[in-house]
Amino acid sequence: MTRKLTNAQIAWRAAQDIADGAYVNLGIGFPEMVAKFQPPGRQAVFHTENGVLGFGEAPPAGQEDWDLINAGKKAITLKPGAAFFHHADSFAMVRGGHLDVAILGAYQVAQNGDLANWSTGPKGVPAVGGAMDLVHGAKRVAVITDHVTKDGKPKLLEACTLPLTGVGCVTRVYTSLAVVDIEGGRFVLREKLPAISLDDLQAVTGARLHLDGAVGDLVVPEL
């Protein structure tokens, strides 16, 4: 099997597509890493459902202020001009279409853009949280994920088999092997690791990968 991208490398690639000044919500867990990889000269404005806009990276260990946390209960710092607001106002921002991008994790993504990303299992967040609001309130929804499950099964499927977070909401998926757009109810391959063939990538994808022009090389730094 081709050496896959690490979570940090997937997060780095997703960060490259965030426009300067975009209002962005990052999902709990793995997606929070995206905030570390702002491209030079660009700065997103990060939003968290518990009521902060304009927070920064995590503080150094031992310097946390536990009154300042994100929705995943991780310590944050504040950027100049950061704002605090009521939980209900935060969700009004989400539902009112004021977020440019939401970047979430996933258990499954279907070729029509359906997303399954929550579980009531013992190791997961014990509810869907704000994800159902985010996937329909944000102007663009992207997913970052390993290309396959821990037991090697595809995460990109013809149809999700798990409970849905949202219907037809995802537009781009950044995986450990490829960058895939969802257009017209199908997966369109945009980039793949140079070391993996199209046939091998298709073999670990649960729906047909379509081509629309040249496929770029998925090249990321060592992180």
Residue 101 inside a domain? The answer is yes
Residue 223 inside a domain? The answer is no
pLDDT confidence tier of residue 130, bands split at 50, 70 and 90: confident
Read off the tokens for 92.
Answer: 């009004």
CA 118 to mean position of chain CA atoms = 13
Residue 184 inside a domain? The answer is yes
Residue 18 inside a domain? The answer is yes
pLDDT digits (tens, 9 = 90+) for 11-45: 999 999 999 999 999 988 889 999 889 899 999 99
pLDDT digits (tens, 9 = 90+) for 59-117: 999 999 999 999 888 999 999 999 999 999 999 999 999 999 999 999 999 999 999 99
Residue 155 inside a domain? The answer is yes
Q: Report the alpha-carbon distance of residue 56 to residue 60 in Å, rounded.
A: 12
Pairing of strands 108-110, 178-183: unpaired
Task: Give the domain range for residue 39.
Answer: 7-217
Give the length of the chain: 223
Closest CA to 14 of 141, 155, 164: 141
The pLDDT of residue 124 is 58
pLDDT digits (tens, 9 = 90+) for 166-202: 999 999 999 999 999 999 999 999 999 999 999 999 9
Residue 148 inside a domain? The answer is yes
Q: Report the alpha-carbon distance of residue 223 to residue 220 in Å, rounded.
A: 9
Q: Report the alpha-carbon distance of residue 14 to residue 37 in Å, rounded.
A: 9
Whole-angstrom CA distances from 61 to 34, 51, 57, 64, 74 are 19, 23, 12, 7, 12
pLDDT at 1 over 60: no
**pTM for the predicted model, two decimal places:** 0.93
Residue 130 inside a domain? The answer is yes
> What CATH number does the domain containing 53 carry?
3.40.1080.10
The catalytic residue among 32, 49, 57, 64 is 49
Residue 222 inside a domain? The answer is no
Work out how many domains the chain is built from and give that number. Answer: 1
Query: Which stretches of 10-84 are assigned E, i.e. beta strand?
Result: 23-26, 45-48, 52-55, 78-84
57 given a catalytic annotation: no
Average per-residue pLDDT in the chain? 93
pLDDT at 129 over 80: no
Largest CA distance in the chain: 50
The pLDDT of residue 125 is 56
pLDDT confidence tier of residue 118, bands split at 50, 70 and 90: confident
Unique residue bearing structure tokens 């090389």 = 217
